[in-house]
Amino acid sequence: MKCKLFIHATNIHQGGGYSLLSALLDACPGEQEVVALLDRRIPKPTNIPGTMFIKFVQPSIRQRFYAEWWLWQNVRSQDTVLCFGNLPPLFKLRGHVIVFVQNRYLVERVALRSFYIKARLRLGLERLWLSWRAGNVDEFVVQTPSMRTALLSSGCVVKQPVHVRPFVKVSGGYQRTMSLKHVRQDGHKRYDFFYPASGDPHKNHRRLVKAWCLLAEQGLFPSLCLTLDANVSSELCIWIDEQKLRYGLKLENVGFLPHDKALLLYVQARALIYPSLFESFGLPLIEASQSCLPVLAAELDYVRDVLDPEQTFNPESSISIVRAVKRFLGEGVGPLPLLDATQFMASVLGKVE
Q: Is residue 251 part of a domain?
A: yes
* 111 and 255 together in one domain: no
pLDDT over threshold 90, residue 351? no
* 147 and 215 together in one domain: no
Q: Is residue 344 part of a domain?
A: no
pTM: 0.75
* 111 and 220 together in one domain: no
* 146 and 18 together in one domain: yes
- Distance between CA atoms of residues 61 and 46, nearest Å: 27
> Which residue range forms the structural domain that includes residue 321?
180-329
- Distance between CA atoms of residues 274 and 283, nearest Å: 11
The runs of H, that is alpha helices, within the chain are: 15-27, 61-74, 117-133, 145-153, 180-184, 205-217, 234-247, 259-266, 283-290, 301-306, 318-329, 341-348
- Please give the average per-residue pLDDT across 122-146, as a whole number: 90
Q: What is the pLDDT of residues 287-327, one digit of tens each?
A: 999 888 999 999 999 999 989 999 999 999 999 999 999 99
Q: What is the pLDDT of residues 53-92, one digit of tens each?
A: 999 999 888 999 999 999 999 999 999 999 998 999 999 9
The set of residues, in sequence order, having a beta carbon less than 8 Å from that of 141 and lying 6+ positions away, is 98, 99, 100, 101, 162, 163, 164, 165
Q: Is residue 67 part of a domain?
A: yes
**Residues forming a β-bridge with 274:** 297
Q: Is residue 12 part of a domain?
A: yes
Residue 97 φ then ψ, to 5°: -110, 125
* 115 and 147 together in one domain: yes
CB atoms within 10 A of CB 3: 13
What band does 166 get if pLDDT is binned at 50, 70 and 90?
confident
Tally of structural domains, the chain: 2
* 17 and 153 together in one domain: yes
